[in-house]
Structure 1
Amino acid sequence: MHVFKDQLNRKIRLKSVPKRIVSLVPSQTELLVDLGLKDCIVGVTKFCVHPIDIRKQKAVVGGTKAIKIKKIKALKPDIILCNKEENTLEIVNSLDNIAPVHISDIYSIEDCYELITMYGEIFDMATKAKLLIVNIENQRKSYIHKKNKANSVAYFIWKAPWMVVGSNTFIDAMISEAGFENSFKSKVRYPEIQLDDDLLKEADFIFLSSEPYPFKASHIAELKNKFPDKTIKIVSGEFFSWYGSRLLGSFNYFRSLGQ
C-alpha cells in the first residue's frame, strides 16, 4: 500500500500505480494527457475540451458540478481526480466509496507545480512532471523580465449578475503574473458588482473572460457605451484559469495583451 497526500492534506491510499483514471476537472485532464497518461484515462467531463478529441475517446461522466455516479462506478476507476473549487463536497463524498479521490486546491503557480509533482509521483511520471515544471518556469522567467508598468484591470467572469474576480483565487494570481493589478483585489473570491462601482470606474482595463460566461463583441459594445475611455477586451479564460500544462502557453498569450 502506497500513501500519498492531496492538496487538502488528505491521505490517498493506493495499492499500485493507477491505470484507470476518472478526471472531473478539464485542466487536469489536459495535464494528464501531456504527462503521457491519455491511455489511462477512462472518464472525463463534458467540459474536458483539450485535447479536442478526448470526449470522443473516453466516457463522459457529466459535468464538473453534476456527475453520473453510476457511470463512474461502472468504469471501475483506480483513482478519481477532483478540485476543491470545480467540484462540490457532495460530489467528493459520493465518490469516496468508488475509488480513492485526489483533490487539488490551486491559488498560485507554486500550487500548480505542487500538483504536477504529485501527479508525477502518483502516476510514476516524475521525470516528465519535473520537465514540465522546468519548461513552465522558463516561460515564466522569460516573461517577467519583459513586464511593463502594471495597469489596473477588472476581470469579469459573469453577467446577470455582473461578477468579477477578487483575491484568494488562481485567476487573481494570474492577473498579477500577466503584469496587471486586480482592481477588485480588496474583494474576496467572485463578488457581484454594479456597473457604477467605484473600483470599476478606477480600472484602466476591463477583461471579459471567454469562460465560464461566453462574453461576445456585443458585451464589449455595451460596456464601451458606459466606459468609452477604458480598454475593453475579451480574453482567454483558459490562459488565466487553467492550471497544469496550459500554463506553457499563458505567458506568450499575456504578451499579446500588451504587457
Structure 2
Amino acid sequence: MIVKDQLERELEFDSTPQRIVSLVPSQTELLVDLGVGDRLVGVTKFCVHPKRLREKTTVVGGTKKVHLERIYALNPDLIICNKEENTAKMVEELEDIAPVWISDIKDIPDSIEMIRSLGGLIDLKESAMKLMDGICEEWRQFEQFMMNRPRRKVAYLIWKHPFMAAGKNTFIDALLRLNKFDNIIHEARYPEIRSENLLEAELVLLSTEPYPFKEEDVTEIRRRLNKDIKLVDGEYFSWYGSRLLKAFSYFRSLHQS
C-alpha cells in the first residue's frame, strides 16, 4: 500500500499499521476518537487527551525532542508527525525507525483532508467520514451564526516572556478569521512583539497554551495595556483534529459572553 502524506511524500506499507506512535497531541486525540486507541503504543507528554491515555502507552518525550531509543523499542509501523509541531531533524531520525506520516495544517479544509487521509491509512474510512461530516455541519452552522456579526481587530497571544503572538499563515489565524477577528499581527508564524504592537487591537486574546495564561494575567495585562482582554481555551483555536467538532460551540459562547 502506497499513500501520500500532506507534504506529498510517498510512504509504503505492507499492511494496515497496527503499532502507532503519535507525536502530535491533537492527532493523538483524533486517532482515539476514530477508534484506534488500542493501536497507539507511544505518545508525547503533551498528549493530554483523552485523560489517562499516557498511563496506558509509553511517553516518548515532547513534540520537539524525543527519546529515539524508546520509540525504536516500541517497534512501530507508523509514526505520525506535523510539519510545524515537530522538527525536520526529528523526522529525519525517525525515518530510520518506521514510515513517518506528516500533516501540514493551515486551515479547516487542511484538517478535513488530514482526517480523510489518516482514516484511509488506518482503515477506518467510515469513522473518518462520519467525523468529517459532523465537523462540516458544525462549521456551516457557525458561519450562519456569524453572518451579521461585526468584525473586531484582535491579537492572539501565545507567550508572555516575551510576548509572542499568532501571526499569518497559521491555523490559529484561520480560526480567528472564521470568528471575524481581524489579526493585527501581519508577520507570519509566531513573532515576538512588544506592548506597543498591540495598540491597534480592540481585543487581546490570551491563550491557555502553549503559555498557560490565567485570569491573573488578564488583570495584569489589562492594567498594562488598557485594552479589552479575554482568556481563551487554546485547544479550541489550535487543535485541528476531532476537537474541531466541539470548537464551534465554544466559539459561539465567546461571542455570546
TM-score above 0.5? yes
TM-score (norm. length: structure 1): 0.96
Q: Deviations along 1:196-248, whole A, 9 cap, x unmatched?
A: 12xx11111110000000112222122111333x3211111100000010001
SS class of match (1:82): strand
Q: Which runs of 4+ in 1 moved over 2 A?
A: none
Match of 1:242 among 239, 243, 246: 239
Match of 2:250 among 233, 250, 253: 253
Task: Give me the whole-angstrom Cα distance separating, in 2, the residues matched to 1:32 and 1:201.
Answer: 41
Q: Deviations along 1:163-195, whole A, 9 cap, x unmatched?
A: 1111010100011122311111x2111111110
- In structure 1, the residue matched to 2:42 is 43
- 1:1-259 to structure 2, matched below 5 A, reads 2-147=1-146, 148-184=149-185, 186-197=186-197, 200-228=198-226, 230-258=227-255
TM-score (norm. length: structure 2): 0.97
Shift, 1:97, TM fit = 1.1
Equivalent pairs: percent with the same residue? 51
Asked if the contact 1:48/1:55 (under 8 Å) is kept, the reply is yes
Shift, 1:112, TM fit = 0.3
Q: CA RMSD in A?
A: 0.9
- 5+ unaligned residues in a row in structure 1: which ranges? none
Shift, 1:86, TM fit = 0.7
What amino acid does structure 2 have at the position aligned with 1:195?
S
Task: Give me the whole-angstrom Cα distance separating, in 2, the residues matched to 1:226 and 1:50.
Answer: 34
Task: Give me the whole-angstrom Cα distance separating, in 2, the residues matched to 1:190 and 1:221.
Answer: 24
Q: How many residues align?
A: 254
SS class of match (1:232): strand
Asked if the contact 1:162/1:193 (under 8 Å) is kept, the reply is yes
Shift, 1:35, TM fit = 0.5
Q: Deviations along 1:12-64, whole A, 9 cap, x unmatched?
A: 11000000000000000000001001111100000000001100011110110
SS class of match (1:33): helix
Asked if the contact 2:21/2:41 (under 8 Å) is kept, the reply is yes
SS class of match (1:202): coil
Q: Deviations along 1:57-114, whole A, 9 cap, x unmatched?
A: 1111011011010010010001000001111011101111110000001001000011
SS class of match (1:46): coil
Task: Give me the whole-angstrom Cα distance separating, in 2, the residues matched to 1:62 and 1:187.
Answer: 30
Task: Give me the whole-angstrom Cα distance separating, in 1, the residues matched to 2:196 and 2:219.
Answer: 17
- 5+ unaligned residues in a row in structure 2: which ranges? none
Task: Give me the whole-angstrom Cα distance separating, in 1, the residues matched to 2:110 and 2:189.
Answer: 17
Task: Give me the whole-angstrom Cα distance separating, in 2, the residues matched to 1:47 and 1:194.
Answer: 28
Asked if the contact 1:178/1:251 (under 8 Å) is kept, the reply is no
Task: Give me the whole-angstrom Cα distance separating, in 1, the residues matched to 2:74 and 2:250.
Answer: 37
Task: Give me the whole-angstrom Cα distance separating, in 1, the residues matched to 2:241 and 2:64.
Answer: 20
What amino acid does structure 1 have at the position aligned with 2:161?
A
Asked if the contact 2:163/2:194 (under 8 Å) is kept, the reply is yes
Asked if the contact 2:20/2:76 (under 8 Å) is kept, the reply is yes
